[in-house]
Amino acid sequence: MNTTPNSNPKGLADVVVSDTHITSIDGLTGKLYYRGYEISDLAKNSSFEETSYLLFYGELPSSSQLNQYSNLVYSNRSLSENIVSLIKDFPKDANVMDFLRTIVSYSSLYDPDLNDNSMEASMNKSIRLLAQIPVMLSYFHRTRNNLEIIPPAEDLDYASNFLYMLTGNMPDKLSSRVLDQCLILHADHGFNASTFSARVTMSTLSDVYSAVTSAIGTLKGTLHGGANEAVIKMLREIKDVENINNYILAKFAQKEKIMGFGHRVYKTIDPRATVLREMSKDLQSKLGGNLFDLSYDIEQFVLKEKNIKPNVDFYAASVYSMLNIDDDLFTPIFACSRASGWCSQILEQLSDNRLIRPRAKYIGPEPRSFIDLNQR
Ligand code: COA
């Protein structure tokens, strides 16, 4: 007895579930566009503020729109005392993505718009989340290291302020710009797993916080955002170019995935990896070390052996590490940036909503009679 439709591509591969105006991906040629603008153009020429504006509102801002929007984001950075106090009480050894999922969910309780699902209130909540996630992260990071928290600096842009709050020092121009570009590159990516879970949650007419909480939990996994931290772990284990072949061949022999490689949509190199590869190369030439060389040689070897190409997480790992960012902040930084994509997609879902509710093909036992407990 099977009353369900027959099509069930595993993992919903290549299934189109909705129209979107936000991001398009051409997996065959390796192109990614936000609202029609190519990602490499945005990474080269825009700031994260401009790009997140573009995702939210559909067009690049004029300079007065950009000023107004940036000021709106910057002025929404401050956290209520209750949230700061929970951050200070959090177990210091908590996984940072678990922290983030919990604190975002908790912070909803102090949002005056929590249960207002109008477009206007949902936009307000989106801006607050975008502004506050880096503050939450840096407060937690400093607290777990027994350091005083550094309040946000009103006059610093998104990336610079984040680095400033993490370290307590004014970042140099290069570090700010590199982080800014990383944020642009990670901001949105169509119906990836975390965005899809955000849209599913919003489609029930839940709320923006619940949707972003779902998304954070989904991003954590190593097949998604968690891959960047797994990559730096791998780079540290390999340590030297001479160890690459044995390490990778052993992974293949054990049928283990090489983190930061492969992609559901791209059949060629992920265009974000191309930009990040150049950034990694530049950073190594300025700062020294071997993380770019190591990454590049791994890329060549995996390509030669299996023809699998790097994705966004592969070179992001060496870039973040050269910025002196702790390994377990890599995926949370991805979340800071992706909050702009999640919220844009949540708003798009809300603006033309229908409950997302697919079906499964039942392959269990045929209908059968109940057997009494004493006869089993
Ligand atoms: N290392 C080794 N082999 C890989 C691989 C990787 N990183 N990615 C894909 N493959 C191989 C699979 O083993 C499989 O081979 P098979 O057909 O011989 O069994 C084939 O390529 C297809 O892989 P599959 O896992 O079915 O593809 P998917 O579309 O379901 O998965 C990812 C896509 C991203 C989950 C997958 O490539 C992966 O796990 N990558 C590593 C994690 C990662 O970097 N995630 C971040 C994504 S941006």
Q: Render pLDDT for 221-258 as a digit per residue (tens, 0 to 9).
A: 999 999 999 999 999 999 999 999 999 999 999 999 99
Per-residue model confidence (pLDDT) at position 236: 97
CA of 125 to the centre of ligand 1 (A): 35
Per-residue model confidence (pLDDT) at position 308: 97
Matching residue, tokens 């984040």? 162
Pocket of ligand 1 (CB under 6 A): 11, 223-224, 227, 257-264, 308, 311-313
CA of 263 to the centre of ligand 1 (A): 6
Say whether pTM exceeds 0.85.
yes
- Ligand 1 atom with the smallest distance to the CA of 257 is 1
Indicate which residue's Cα is closest to atom 4 of ligand 1: 257
Annotation says 263 is catalytic: yes
**% of residues, the chain, pLDDT over 90:** 97
CA 103 from chain centre, in angstroms, equals 17
User: What crossing angle do the helices spanning 96-107 and 119-144 adopt, rounded to 10°?
Assistant: 140
- Ligand 1 atom with the smallest distance to the CA of 252 is 2
Q: Render pLDDT for 328-350 as a digit per residue (tens, 0 to 9).
A: 999 999 999 999 999 999 999 99
Q: Which of 141, 186, 189, 263 is catalytic?
A: 263
Q: Which of 313, 326, 328, 372 is catalytic?
A: 313
CA of 178 to the centre of ligand 1 (A): 28
| Per-residue confidence band for 6, with pLDDT thresholds at 50, 70 and 90 | low
**% of residues, the chain, pLDDT over 70:** 98
Residue 212 and residue 357 in contact, taking contact as beta carbons nearer than 8 Å: no
> 333 exposed, middle or buried (CB, 10 Å; 0-12, 13-18, 19+)?
buried
Q: Render pLDDT for 155-198 as a digit per residue (tens, 0 to 9).
A: 999 999 999 999 999 999 999 999 999 999 999 999 999 999 99
- Ligand 1 atom with the smallest distance to the CA of 314 is 44
Q: Render pLDDT for 85-116 as a digit per residue (tens, 0 to 9).
A: 999 999 999 999 999 999 999 999 999 999 99
| Per-residue confidence band for 154, with pLDDT thresholds at 50, 70 and 90 | confident
User: Distances from the Cα of 16 to the Cαs of 7, 19, 190, 237, 268, in angstroms?
Assistant: 13, 8, 11, 39, 20
The residue among 192, 182, 193, 191 whose CA lies nearest residue 332 is 182
